[in-house]
Chain A
């Protein structure tokens, strides 16, 4: 069983792209007693090697990203209100009237004009980011500058909740992947494997590109969360994948056409091991596989993801069972790839 306490610990940390240190510190603390070697590179990626019982026939790298989407303070107004930019892809509709933490400690809210003063069509229109601002209660600019400065990161102020088989939290993308990798490092492995915890996925797959260069693997498994559109009001053909129906295997997204023999291997393993499993039924989104599979002379890459609703919002949702099943499938798949199965 995957460790949910660990997942909670990771989700409660703050780490927007480029500011992953808090997450990295905890991951280092978690894995250092168990990994054979651990290093941090120039961008802040963590690269951990774990010796297994045997030498692998295929050098395998498992990857998850530490960063999350968020906001960053761009300007402090004379009125003490903060202007901000999005870091990573956020639908502006989830921003209005949300509580946030600036710099990890200062409480604020994203303000909106009262509905009573909106005119006509304004009521049904989302507010452009350029018109939004954060109110921390500062009286004016000088007052605000005592507590915050441009460049401070901003995260949704939202908790971690586990109940009735679901987990609701911010940053499940991709602390869930990080937690699965940490779980694996903590156990004995049949083959040597390298685990990377990457920075800056949400701003262009930048961390994984250099980590993969350093590790120089033959094969890679990206452990991610992916967009579940299985919500009310969305037609079945646009739902992509379903929460509660097992790990999601991608054949293609906007950045990668996944390795077919490994995709087939994963499907076969899921059937063999009776792990529920689904395919991502849309070509949408993208993840670190996009950078990893084109590293050096190419890396055979597969992604295994947890179906996640409300990705990149303040409260995303996964099924607890999917988290456990994803970890099981990733473990099995890692062993079989390292053993040389479906190797060309």
Chain B
């Protein structure tokens, strides 16, 4: 598990906001290139090709590599940066947070907030993101020299280990999925595969899933499994809407997912004694599986999610063991899963 923890640390230390995934993609490439042939496509998706590329069974494994963050929307007269959200940012997590601004140089900043001594009225209200500012300690002239609207901003936070193999970082949604992909490739590395396995680390999921849409078209798979994160149990989250930390991958069941593939994942998990749990959804899944399923003339699709707490905050939490078990389940499916006729 220790090497998995180090891998996750490296993946989470590389920034990769939607549309600016380069550093995160490079970090993943460093890991994946030993297992297959690497290529890129026009939207910046990283593709790693393993197995027999001429095989009839062509499996696409998808995990989005981008993470949510902020953009510089402008610079005020006194050098503060105006903000726009890039993806579903939780504004409650922003006041007082230290951030990195990816300008011409890296700048450290703080999201403005008043000290309690000067707060008049209620502490209840949190301003919307477009009324928040980042302080980089510079005058307008200096700020304009180093920062351009559109520059990315991410919370500055070092990944940390918690007790019991649990791990906290920003962007575990979905570096946990990326880590699962790399671990799965590692598990299969020394084997002769009779199928084609295309790992797609897709971009822009948090702003609409454009990477997976074009990636699924380009690689024309016969089947696909998306790995993402989903809600783990925590106070305030109803039990029926959440999975359990450390209890294995959440296998998705939904009208938009392929029932036979899902059944096959469950069969293999039971046979191989890989812990797993169900995540039942009534329609679409809110993941890349939704768009991959309708690529070209249609792709049968399954979904496995790593349970995660505090989603879309800078302190997301997962258990490494859930990544390991998700990777094992994917590897088992690739090795022994049924071959679908259509």
Contacts and interface: CB of A to CB of B under 8 A. Distances in A.
Interface of A: 79, 81, 89-94, 96-99, 106-117, 123-127, 131, 133, 135-139, 143, 147, 157-158, 161, 163-166, 168, 227, 229-234, 238, 240, 243, 282, 284-285, 309-315, 317, 319
Interface residues of B, number: 61
Given A126-B126, A227-B115, A317 B110 contact: yes
Contacts of A91: 95, 113-116, 119, 123
A15 B241 CA distance: 40
A125 B311 contact: no
From B114, B124, B142, B157, name the one whose CB has the most chain A CB atoms within 10 angstroms.
B114
B98 A124 contact: no
B334 to A, nearest CB: 30
A229 B116 contact: no
Given A89-B116, A116-B88, A168-B110, A314 B162 contact: no
Contacts of B80: 231-232
Nearest to B119: A91
Contacts, number: 212
Contacts of A108: 162
Nearest to B93: A97
Contacts of A107: 160-162, 168
Interface of B: 76, 78, 80, 82, 88-93, 95-98, 107-108, 110, 112-119, 123-128, 131, 133, 135, 137-138, 142, 157, 160-166, 168, 231, 234-237, 241, 246, 309-315, 317
A137 B317 contact: yes
B123 A158 contact: no
A112 B315 CA distance: 9
B95 A315 contact: no
B123 A310 contact: no
Contacts of B313: 96-97, 112, 114
B98 A315 contact: yes
A231 B117 contact: no
A180 B131 CA distance: 37
A313 B315 contact: no
A90 B114 CA distance: 11
A137 B166 contact: yes
Given A125-B125, A232-B76, A116 B311 contact: yes
